Amino acid sequence: MIITKLQASHFRNYETVQLDALPTEGLIIVAGGHEAGKSSIGEAILFALFGRTEALEGAQLAKLVLWGSQEASVTLYFQQQAERYCLQRGVNAEGVQQAELWQLTADNTVLADTPEAVSDAVQDLLGLDYAIFVRTFFWGQADVQASLADEDSLQAMMGLKTYLTLGRMLEQERCVADSTLQAAQNHSEALQVQHKRHSSDPAQVSTLQGIRQTLHERRRSARALQAEISSSNELYAERYADYQRYSAHSRRAWRLIYVGALLLASILLLWGVQTFAPAWGEAWWPFDSAWLPQGRELLGVGSIIAAAIVLAWLYDAYVERRYLEPLRVWSALYGSALRDALLQLRSTLETFFDANTTAYLQQHSDLPPQAKKSSLRLAAVSEYLPEQVRAYATSPEASHAGFQALEKGLLAYSARMDTYVQVVDQDVGKVQALEQHYSELAAGVQREAWQVKNSDHQTQVLDKSIQLLYLASQFFIQRFNQLVKQRCEQLLNEFTEQRIDAETVTLDQDFALQVLSKGQSEGLELDSVSSLTQRQVNLAMRVAVADALLKQLDRQAQFIFMDEPVAGLDNDRTQATLRSLEATRQGRLAQIWLTMQTVPENTLGAAIILCELGESRLQWQGN
């Protein structure tokens, strides 16, 4: 990620910040005295990216708002992997944020429009979360000076901290496994005794479940039929009247077709006589021969009659397709429902249920039999009612009593099925409870037996896991040393101007930094050198770690922000450090932001931004 433009308003002590056309490579030096606002530039960058700073988060972010203002905002333009983005984030005086992220394309695609979504999108673009990013590419003054914080972040970055924590957890688990072994053996013996006292019949559970399923199906069928008959009963009168009316239309159309056909045949006969035997026509014609129609006239009249026949036929086809066929389909469905209801209500247990269900219901003498009133009502229902309804052969008045009898019979049948289902559910619940208890005992016996059997094996696995974790941590340290070694040696030599002629840089398992110099066989402890040299050693290590991490993430260009990394160094050390950092831009750390109080002469900085104490506006324009 390379920053190309930074804008801020009412942020910290600044009313406006406008840094345009920032160089994408080299040193960007933010210079100024104490409390001049240098660190605010770094806080603005961190706030824009992650919605927090090193010191503030949540409601405390309201402290970023300039005194007397209602809201602070930061707009950040940056490049990432050849794509350009714009990020805008603000916070009001109550600490409530708003944020939005765009990809700068032809239509400026919005990638995220909430503070949380923007932070997640930035994390995806960077490939790093806040904790690793702030320890690697964004260092405050305390971070640049302290080595312990770097050791902790290195553990997190390389994954070694997780391995070490996991190793301690495995040690604890091993102790727990040893202490619970005897308890598991005692519990297993107790479960085996209880398991022998209980028995279970899976066939009984299966039979009861089958009976319950059968009764559920009968109940659902009865309720569905009752609902269908109830709704169709209200519609039958309307559909019956529609069917009779449209049937009358169809009959009239066919009468017109028959009459028209006779007339057309007569006219065609007369036309044939006039055409082929005109003398016969004149002899046969009872009126004046002047009134005798000619062949062309007869054809015209025949055409009109034929057209009328076709229109009548089309009308009949329309009535049939549009009205009569849907009515017949509906009556067929209604008739089928009536037929199924009759079959269901008039069937006995033996004919309507399977053998298991019939035997179960007969064994329960307390279950209610079929009501006598319902039987008497059903006896009055004609068995031909379904077919009569299907053909609209019975009127609504004549069939209403039958419909009511079937509906009430189905209601009584559903109530009886409800009682059956409740009884079966109780029996199933009892058997299932026994079966579940038996299964739990069996599972407990198997589980405890497995626990006892594999306890020793688990201990061996834990021992092996601890050993492998230790070897893995050693591997990570070796790989990390290999990545950092060459770069850190070069930086140390450049930063210290050969004061420490480092040949080898190593980190032990606790991430304690050691530097082997020429002529020394043991590591050079940092406590044995001056504080200024310690600062340069830590700075070299941090730059090397950042470069190694970029290589590991396969990132081509990245900015890094350091708050006064050369504070307290003399002019020679400062110049050497700045020259080395300037040369770093040729690698993956292309854009290097750093703050300092004064800029030495002849400093090769790509941009030098001066902050004045008490000045509320900061502006810089690149080429």
Q: Would you list the DSSP string of 429-489?
A: HHHHHHHHHHHHHHHHHHHHHHHHHHHHHHHHHHHHHHHHHHHHHHHHHHHHHHHHHHHHH
Contact 595, 562 (CB under 8 A): yes
Q: Which whole-number Å values give the CA distances from 520 to 112, 292, 489, 513, 524, in the listed order?
A: 55, 143, 15, 16, 8
Q: Which residue has the tokens 């530097």?
A: 515
Q: What is the pLDDT of residue 372?
A: 41
Return all residues near 483 (Cβ < 8 A) that are at least 6 apart: 548, 551, 552
Please tell me the predicted confidence (pLDDT) of residue 371: 41
| pTM of the complete model | 0.50
pLDDT for 37 equals: 92
Q: Is 51 left (phi over 0), alpha (psi -120 to 50) or beta?
A: left
CA-CA-CA-CA torsion sign (428, 429, 430, 434) = positive
Residues listed for the chain? 623
Q: Which of 551, 541, 556 is nearest to 586 (CA)?
A: 556
**Phi first, then psi: what are they for 81, rounded to 5°?**
55, 50
**Given this model, what pLDDT does residue 161 score?**
55
Q: Which domains does the chain have, with CATH numbers?
A: 2-143+543-621 (3.40.50.300), 202-434 (no CATH)
- List, in sequence order, the alpha helices (H) in 277-395: 278-284, 295-319, 325-346, 349-352, 355-363, 372-379, 385-390
Tell me the sheet residues that pair with 517.
502
Q: Take residue 516 and report the two structure tokens written for it.
A: 């082997």
Q: Alpha carbon 325 to chain centroid distance?
A: 48
How far is Cα 202 from Cα 197, in angstroms, rounded to an integer?
17
| Biggest CA pair distance of the chain | 151
Q: How far apart are CA 614 and CA 32, in angstroms?
A: 11
Cα 451 to Cα 158, 271, 456, 522: the distances in Å are 36, 109, 9, 50
Q: Contact 51/604 with Cβ under 8 angstroms? A: no
The whole-number pLDDT of residue 185 equals: 67
- pLDDT at site 510: 46
Is there a contact between 478 and 509 (Cβ–Cβ < 8 Å)? no
> DSSP letters of 198-266?
----HHHHHHHHHHHHHHHHHHHHHHHHHHHHHHHHHHHHHHHHHHHHHHHHHHHHHHHHHHHHHHHHH
Cβ atoms < 10 Å from Cβ of 167: 17
DSSP-based three-state secondary structure for 361: helix
pLDDT at residue number 486: 56
Which run of H or E residues covers position 27? Answer: strand 26-31
Burial 197-213 (b: 16+ CB within 10 A, else e): eeebeeeebebbeebbe
What pLDDT is attached to residue 437?
Answer: 73
Instruction: For the chain, list residues with pLDDT below 50.
Output: 144-150, 153, 371-377, 502, 509-511, 521-524
